[in-house]
């Protein structure tokens, strides 16, 4: 389904359903009395729509394991599931996927999920979404005793009902990974608070584990590159990755393709020993080919679809750097040591910056960020000046120190 269609369904069906379920829960509470919240054991995290969030929530998941001894489960849209496999924090058999390619598959998978959650004896659900009524309903209907997530309290904004037992105040001035940690802290608390979570979360708590890459996997990537660039040599050549596209979820995040062409030409002119790989999904191959054709240099390769998703971390581990729009690859790369340069526009790196070795390129206009939890991440902007004012010269100047350090290494 199209993103706007899903938003409409979430609003027109989600609002009344959340309201009705809230009334039902209130009646049950009045009839049965207040329940005692149990220590989380079988914990389900729900994050459907964002692949990058599966990386950003990893520190919170590891805290659930280390401090609460929880068995982790995850609910995610089927197309986004590969992102969970990068760090393998959640067992394969504990991941449930929902198809979003049609209303009927969505409904059928939702019903299957409700049975699956009870078979898995889920006692705790963490709703990681900021605005989705659909995930609020899934949380409420999961059968879990503990239901934690972000709640608006007295703030004006998106109505999601009153279905949570642990209501966390979302902090729009705090990185999203720290907001996720706040949910875990709420579940670990010995007392009820209003609002949760009155805790200090340090930068040390959002450090990511790094992916382990075997030498054989690196060699496979080298061979795939050599098949497209016969002169490539790992010993002599440094790989520069350029990701020119962003997902359809928020097309305003795209920096102009001609800007990428200019920067790639500057990179190639800087050092003859550099090889630029233009990355992307197989569906983006035609988009990427436009850039490759315009650059017209044998050291600029259309590598869209060149590796499987599971091989991305290996590709990142053998590359010197990546220039990318604010999109999933910036977060996927954070589990490696590769340096990323991320161009931000309608979102802010203060909230959604990569947790890895990363530099944000951000204009910080008065209108930015224009997407947030308060507007369902849908902006009225059709003229992304926030990205247009970021010039190719500015971007190249930002990445130049790294390129010069590669020179010093004898690249």
Quote the CA–CA distance of 230 and 244 in Å, as a whole number: 24
Residue 313 burial (C-beta neighbours within 10 Å; 0-12, 13-18, 19+) = buried
Entry pTM: 0.90
Quote the CA–CA distance of 408 and 359 in Å, as a whole number: 20
- 410 contact partners, CB below 8 Å, separation of at least 6: none
For 137-171, b where at least 16 C-beta lie within 10 A, e where not — what string? bbbbbbebebbbbbbbeeeeebbbbbbbbbbbbbe
User: Phi-psi bin for 402: left (phi > 0), alpha (psi -120 to 50), beta?
Assistant: alpha
For residue 104, give both structure tokens: 């009927």
Quote the CA–CA distance of 203 and 355 in Å, as a whole number: 10
Phi then psi dihedrals of residue 341, to 5 deg: -115, 115
Quote the CA–CA distance of 298 and 276 in Å, as a whole number: 9
The residue whose two tokens read 């105040």 is 169
Kindly list the structural domains of the chain, giving each domain's residue range(s) and its CATH number in brackets, ordered by start: 3-206 (3.40.50.2000), 215-408 (3.40.50.2000)
Report pLDDT for 35: 65
For residue 356, give both structure tokens: 């890895």
Q: Are 44 and 144 in contact (CB under 8 A)?
A: yes
Q: Are 264 and 19 in contact (CB under 8 A)?
A: no
- Per-residue pLDDT in tens (0 to 9) along the chain, 411 residues: 777 788 888 888 999 999 999 999 999 888 887 666 788 999 999 999 888 888 999 999 999 999 999 999 999 999 999 999 888 999 999 999 999 888 999 999 999 999 999 999 999 999 999 889 999 999 999 999 999 999 988 877 778 999 999 999 999 899 999 999 999 999 998 888 888 989 999 999 999 999 889 999 999 999 999 999 999 999 999 999 999 986 666 778 889 999 999 999 999 999 999 999 999 999 899 989 999 999 999 999 999 999 999 999 999 999 999 999 998 999 999 999 999 999 999 999 999 999 999 999 999 999 999 987 777 778 888 899 999 999 999 999 999 999 999 987 764
Which sign, positive or negative, has the C-alpha torsion 332, 334, 339, 340?
positive
Collapse the DSSP code of 304 into the 3-class scheme (helix H, G, I; strand E, B; otherwise coil) and give the result.
Answer: coil
Quote the CA–CA distance of 293 and 300 in Å, as a whole number: 9
Report pLDDT for 411: 44
Distances from the Cα of 194 to the Cα of 34, 36, 153, angstroms: 16, 17, 9
Report pLDDT for 237: 94
């Amino acid at each position: 389904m199209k993103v706007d269609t899903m938003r409409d369904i979430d609003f027109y069906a989600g609002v009344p359903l959340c309201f009705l379920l809230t009334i039902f829960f209130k009646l049950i509470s009045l009839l049965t009395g207040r329940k005692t919240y149990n220590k989380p054991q079988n914990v389900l995290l729900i994050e459907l729509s964002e692949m990058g969030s599966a990386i950003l929530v990893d520190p919170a998941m590891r805290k659930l394991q280390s401090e609460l001894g929880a068995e982790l489960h995850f609910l995610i849209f089927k197309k986004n599931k590969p992102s969970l496999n990068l760090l393998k924090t959640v067992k394969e058999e504990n991941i449930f996927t929902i198809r979003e390619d049609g209303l009927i598959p969505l409904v059928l998978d939702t019903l299957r999920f409700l049975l699956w959650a009870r078979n898995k004896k889920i006692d705790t659900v963490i709703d990681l979404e900021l605005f989705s009524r659909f995930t609020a309903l899934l949380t409420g209907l999961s059968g879990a005793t503990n239901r934690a997530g972000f709640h608006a309290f007295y703030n004006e904004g998106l109505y999601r009902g009153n279905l949570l037992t642990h209501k966390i105040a979302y902090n729009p001035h705090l990185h999203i990974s720290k907001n996720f940690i706040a949910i875990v802290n709420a579940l670990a608390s010995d007392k009820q608070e209003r609002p949760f979570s009155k805790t200090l979360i340090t930068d040390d708590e959002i450090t990511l584990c790094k992916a382990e890459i075997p030498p054989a996997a690196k060699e496979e990537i080298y061979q795939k590159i050599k098949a497209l660039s016969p002169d490539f040599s790992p010993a002599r050549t440094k790989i520069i990755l350029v990701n020119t596209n962003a997902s359809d979820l928020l097309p305003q995040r795209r920096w102009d393709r001609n800007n990428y062409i200019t920067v790639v030409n500057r990179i190639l002119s800087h050092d003859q020993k550099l090889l630029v790989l233009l990355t992307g999904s197989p569906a983006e191959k035609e988009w990427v080919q436009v850039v490759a054709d315009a650059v017209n240099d044998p050291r600029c390769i259309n590598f869209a679809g060149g590796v499987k998703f599971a091989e991305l971390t290996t590709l990142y581990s053998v590359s010197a750097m990546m220039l990318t729009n604010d999109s999933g690859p910036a977060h996927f790369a954070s589990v490696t040591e590769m340096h990323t340069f991320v161009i931000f526009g309608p979102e802010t790196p203060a909230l959604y910056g990569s947790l890895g070795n990363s530099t944000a390129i951000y204009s910080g206009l008065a209108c930015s960020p224009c997407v947030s939890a308060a507007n369902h991440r849908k902006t009225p902007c059709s003229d992304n000046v926030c990205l247009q004012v970021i010039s190719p010269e500015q971007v190249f100047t930002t990445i130049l120190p790294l390129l010069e350090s590669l020179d010093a290494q004898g690249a």
